[in-house]
Structure 1
Amino acid sequence: MAHRPTALRAAALAGAALLLGGGGMLPYRAFPAVPELGRIDRIVIHKAQRRMELFSGGRLVHVMTGVGLGDAPVGQKHFEGDERTPEGRYTIDFRNPHSSYHLSLRLSYPDAAATAFAAAQHRSPGGEIYIHGQPNWLALGRLPGDWTDGCIAVSNREIEALWRAVPQGTDVEVLP
């Protein structure tokens, strides 16, 4: 999947965390339990602020901060491997309970425009963009910063709350 870190990157992240005495990860206790959200029908992600807003019935009900993005977070995703998080309007089109990242909710990227743009350059637009939790090899904590290949990463507690509240078909808007 496009959001899976390479073995080398995973080893580097784990090694850095060990060298820093765990300082390379944010401790699990830093992320309190997320309240029960009810049914979420719209998600708005502000990439520049690393902020995810959750809406129900047109009302903002919860905000998640410090979300992780792709390694190259600025700008629109154009091609597979550019490590950018796509911008635009999507829906949740698949729920993966067996993710390599705790749980994951897939965005309907690429859309027709992204596919056409990449095809005109004789390239792939990429795909398999998810909102997901932390890597399964990370027992506790949260990797800091932007480390995905274009996905949106949250804490495991946050993805568990999203898993309960976000049905397939939920609207997602990703803003610069």
Structure 2
Amino acid sequence: MKTINWSTDYLPGKTDNSVSNEVITDKANIEDIWNNLVDTSKWEKYYDNATNIELSIKDDTKLHFAETFHFNTFGFPIDAQVMELVEPSDGRIARLAWHGWQNGDEKTQFDVYHAFLIEKLSDGRIRLLTQESQIGKPAAELSQQDPNPMLNGHQKWLDGLVKFTKNGGKEE
């Protein structure tokens, strides 16, 4: 199976916190899943843990390669930049990744790398994988919580994305 393109600094297992979530589904169109993921105007319709989303390109709600944006998640105000953006076409695996951060001192500084892969599998199935690796004291504190809020939150993101897509882009 394909994997995330990690830089050495964010290699899972070497950071203060990391999680991996995956869904395999059928009866969904990969292009629709992709469009619902990269269109930030849809995030709050299927994932309640991403709010106050602001893109640097104001006339488009879809993420673009190298674009910066801001959103709130897990109680943190995150500034981010898109590091990887590859649409699903001609059998290519779709990839979306961003570097996110919260500036601060040694107690509040927070850096993350969050990535998604979407790939077609046999028999009309689609695999969605999201992984995030975090550095900083807030990340270390998150990793000690039980249940793990990041693991559960990212699973809600994937589950919500699939359900929203299968429901034709409508909230229930």
Superposed pair shares fold, TM > 0.5: no
Give the TM-score range, shorter chain.
0.3 to 0.5
- Higher strand residue share: 2
TM-score where L is the length of structure 1 = 0.32
Relative contact order, higher structure (CA 8 A, sep 6+):
1
- Higher helix residue share: 2
TM-score where L is the length of structure 2 = 0.33
